[in-house]
Amino acid sequence: MVRFVSLSSGSNGNCYYFSDGTVAFLIDVGIGARTIKKRLAELNIDFDSISFILVTHDHVDHIKSLGLFTERFHKPVYATRTLHGALSRHFCTRGKMTGCVRYLDENFENDIMGVCVTPFEVPHDATQTVGYHIVIGGEKITVVTDIGSPTDAAVRYASMADHLIVEANYDVDMLVGGPYPMNLKMRIMSENGHLSNEQTCSLVRRSISPTTRNLFLCHLSAHNNTPQAAFSAVKETLENLHSQASLRCLPRTQTSELFFLEH
Ligand SMILES: [Zn+2]
Ligand SMILES: [Zn+2]
């Protein structure tokens, strides 16, 4: 059984916590260490249990506090070689990762303290962006956030998961009719932008299996989506597939409930 909590999800900051009771790790550090500590404490989770960090990409909402966090707590930071190169130049992390840099091989099962971590590249407009397929405590988890289109690789790794965390960033009509400037709308909708609810449904349709237990929608836009719109779109897809998977939207600015992942 694995404990999972989303400490923040969206352009305001991303940070996810996972633990099997022996090893614990974060994916992305887009919010401050003090907030992480406080939010974990509210769930009776010991901050010191965090063993390492995984990074998805070099956008500020994912690495805003990574540099300060690493400087202060000296947790090993695992990322691909390309991404570490970007982190060594980024103002959030430059000069702050000394002694904590650990490299991951893409499309390869990397063993980190007994956790099997496979990063795979996804299309997005950062230096490099990866999704993760993770096996921890016997549970298979795939995390795909900040991805412009549902690629075959993303579908392949998503279809291996008992528990899938996938972006549902925007509702097309809300984005098109919304307040964003045209160039930003185009960026979000591009092949290297974010997933619309429809694209998330497409990924789900191609990857859900009878063994999928949990589906979490993450990185919802505050302006261009609502939890209701994302939920009902994906719920309809699950119903059409006769899937029993439980579906939830992760809150943007608040801590989610503490989830117990088991298959
Ligand atoms: Zn993001
Ligand atoms: Zn991004």
Distance 194 CA to ligand 2 centre (A): 8
DSSP string spanning 191-235?
TTS--BHHHHHHHHHHH--TT--EEEEE---TTT--HHHHHHHHH
Distance 242 CA to ligand 1 centre (A): 31
Domain limits, the chain:
2-261
Give 251's DSSP letter: P
Query: Per the confidence metrics, is the pTM higher than 0.75?
Result: yes
Distance 128 CA to ligand 2 centre (A): 10
Distance 185 CA to ligand 1 centre (A): 15
Percentage of the chain modeled with pLDDT above 70: 100
Angstrom distance (rounded) from CA 40 to CA 38: 6
Mean pLDDT of 221-236: 98
Distance in angstroms between the alpha carbons of the first and the last residue of the chain: 8
Dihedral (Cα; 108, 114, 115, 117), 10-degree rounding: -10
Dihedral (Cα; 58, 60, 63, 66), 10-degree rounding: 130
Fold of 2-261: Metallo-beta-lactamase; Chain A (3.60.15)
Tell me the per-residue pLDDT of 113-167, one tens digit each, with 9 for 90 and over.
999 999 999 999 999 999 999 999 999 999 999 999 999 999 999 999 999 999 9
Distance 103 CA to ligand 2 centre (A): 20
Distance 125 CA to ligand 2 centre (A): 7
Distance 60 CA to ligand 1 centre (A): 8
Distance 184 CA to ligand 2 centre (A): 13
Element (H, E) at 165: strand 163-167
CA distances to 10, 67, 140, 260 from 137, in Å: 27, 29, 9, 12
Could you give the count of Cα atoms lying within 13 Å of 237 in the half-sphere of its Cβ?
Answer: 23
Question: What is the model's pLDDT at position 180?
Answer: 95
* 3-state class (DSSP) for residue 153: helix
Distance 158 CA to ligand 1 centre (A): 19
Q: Which of 248, 252, 208 is nearest to 231 (CA)?
A: 248
Of the listed ligands, the closest to the CA of 124 is 2
Distance 59 CA to ligand 1 centre (A): 6
Of the listed ligands, the closest to the CA of 167 is 1
232 is written with which tokens? Answer: 């009902």
Average pLDDT, the chain: 97
Question: What is the model's pLDDT at position 7?
Answer: 98
Could you give the count of Cα atoms lying within 13 Å of 166 in the half-sphere of its Cβ?
Answer: 35
- Residue 156: partners with Cβ closer than 8 Å, 6 or more residues away: 207
Of the listed ligands, the closest to the CA of 252 is 1
Distance 44 CA to ligand 2 centre (A): 30
Of the listed ligands, the closest to the CA of 219 is 1
Distance 197 CA to ligand 1 centre (A): 16
106 by Cβ neighbours in 10 Å (0-12 / 13-18 / 19+) ranks as middle
Angstrom distance (rounded) from CA 145 to CA 68: 23
76 pLDDT tier (thresholds 50, 70, 90): very high
Question: What is the model's pLDDT at position 263?
Answer: 87
66 pLDDT tier (thresholds 50, 70, 90): very high
Question: What is the model's pLDDT at position 248?
Answer: 98
| pLDDT of 23 over the 90 cut | yes
Protein residues near ligand 2, an ion, with CB under 5 A: 59, 146
Tell me the per-residue pLDDT of 184-205, one tens digit each, with 9 for 90 and over.
999 999 999 999 999 999 999 9
Of the listed ligands, the closest to the CA of 187 is 2
| pLDDT of 72 over the 90 cut | yes
